Structure 1
Amino acid sequence: MLYHPKWSKVKKRLMSFVCEPLHSRVDFQVINYRKAHDQLGRAVITVDKVEMLSMCTITAEREEYYRERDIRIQLDDFSYDDVFNNRALQEQAHEQLKTEGIYGQYDFFSALEEYFNSPIEASLTSNNMIIKILCMLDRRVGKRTLRKMKESISEETLLVQEFYKLRCDAENIHSSK
């Protein structure tokens, strides 16, 4: 799925959600590789100019291919004739990658679309790590909500925990137990 709105407009909208204390520290970048066959590249979230999450399409697609192959080996299923089975295996491989935090640029765009079109309460309970990270930066998530998350944050991925700590530090909330 290609993302149609202009990135500059999308980035402006995304930055409008970033809380004030982190506004100058956090950045989102989309790097397209013109010579790539699909012209997709990477989406990057940086904090203080350090890449915290790089969502590279080439890496994600390569890893998805290997995961799908591993699933086929486990299932001893090398029949490529069944389109629905192929799609199911590909989806299973893609889900594995998402749980490990391996994303393509298209995952970032898909997460943005969901994030922009969902209330913040729904985004906070999302299973999508990218959406959770965006929530940790979101000005609509107040200090009271951040404090309430103190116990449950340990169940999140390490990266979501890092963004939670970043936000708490920026808001002068003691996030350590």
Structure 2
Amino acid sequence: MARRWSKAKQQLDQLICATLKNRVHFHVTAYRKAHDQMGRAFITVDGKDIFSMCTLAVINKTAEIESRFERVRGVEDVLVNRRIHDEALQEANGDGYFFKYA
């Protein structure tokens, strides 16, 4: 059974050192009205996003990167297309785009 966010957040908050106690916050947002109900998870320090995981942003970023490559249409070239996708995902991660769900 999945852990409830409130319980996980409470445990994370207990790990924060005293000097950062009221500065660091963990958030999880679900967009219920979105067609796929995707959301994002993010960490803020002093109200500014410092780390964000948003599946939709990763999908858009990898598609943008992949558009630079000539995708191969043949079934036999699945491995080529997979390599293109993996390289695009690696570049997106390097740019700070991460999936909310692993």
TM-score (norm 2): 0.78
1:79 maps onto 2:73 in alignment: yes
The one-letter code sitting in structure 2 at the alignment partner of 1:15 is D
Q: Higher helix share goes to which structure? A: 1
- Stretches of structure 2 that go unaligned for 5 or more consecutive residues are none
Q: When the two structures are aligned, how many residues end up with a matched partner?
A: 100
Say which of 41, 45, 58 aligns to 2:43: 45
Aligned counterpart, 2:95: 100
TM-score (norm 1): 0.49
Q: Tell me, yes or no, if the aligned pair for 2:72 and 2:81 is still in contact at 8 Å.
A: no
Q: Higher strand share goes to which structure? A: 2
Say which of 24, 27, 34 aligns to 2:25: 27
* CA apart distance, 1:90: 1.6
* CA apart distance, 1:62: 0.5
* C-alpha separation in 1, matches of 2:86 and 2:11: 30
* C-alpha separation in 2, matches of 1:16 and 1:80: 53
Q: Tell me, yes or no, if the aligned pair for 1:80 and 1:86 is still in contact at 8 Å.
A: no
Give the RMSD, CA atoms, in angstroms. Answer: 2.0
Q: Taking structure 1 as reference, are residues 93 and 49 closer, same or farther at Cα in structure 2, changes over 3 Å only?
A: same
* CA apart distance, 1:80: 5.4
* C-alpha separation in 2, matches of 1:83 and 1:13: 43
